[in-house]
C-alpha cells in the first residue's frame, strides 16, 4: 500500500487539459482593479490618510497591467495569424 506522502507527490491520475482563456480580458480586469486602487489611494494620500508608497505600488500595478494587456493582445494576434497560415497551407 502506498503511503500518503507518496500518493501526494506522485499522483496516478493525468492532469486535466488546460483551459483556453482570453488573457487580454483577464489582464484588462486586473489593470482596472489596480487603476481603481490608484484612484482611491491617491485620494487618501491627498487627504493625508495614506503613505506615498501605497500610491506608488498601485501606479506600478497599473503600469505592469497595461504592459500585460499589450502583450496579451499581441500574443493573441500572433496566434490568430499562425492559425490562418496553417489553414491556408
**Global pTM value:** 0.75
pLDDT reported for residue 89? 63
Query: Do the beta carbons of residue 65 and residue 31 sit within 8 Å?
Result: yes
pLDDT above 90 for 66: yes
Calpha distance 69→57 (Å, rounded): 18
Phi-psi region of 17 (alpha: psi -120 to 50; beta: other; left: phi over 0): beta
Backbone angles phi, psi at 58, to 5 degrees: -65, -40
pLDDT in tens, 2-31: 788 888 888 788 888 989 899 999 999 999
Mean pLDDT rounded to a whole number for the chain: 92
pLDDT number for residue 54: 97
User: What is the predicted pLDDT for the residue at 67?
Assistant: 97
Amino acid at each position: 500500500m502506498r503511503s500518503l506522502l507518496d500518493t501526494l507527490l506522485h499522483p496516478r491520475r493525468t492532469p486535466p487539459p488546460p483551459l483556453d482563456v482570453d488573457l487580454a480580458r483577464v489582464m484588462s480586469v486586473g489593470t482596472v482593479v489596480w487603476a481603481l486602487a490608484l484612484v482611491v489611494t491617491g485620494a487618501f494620500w491627498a487627504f493625508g490618510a495614506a503613505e506615498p508608497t501605497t500610491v506608488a505600488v498601485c501606479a506600478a500595478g497599473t503600469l505592469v497591467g497595461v504592459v500585460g494587456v499589450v502583450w496579451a493582445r499581441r500574443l493573441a494576434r500572433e496566434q490568430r495569424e499562425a492559425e490562418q497560415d496553417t489553414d491556408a497551407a
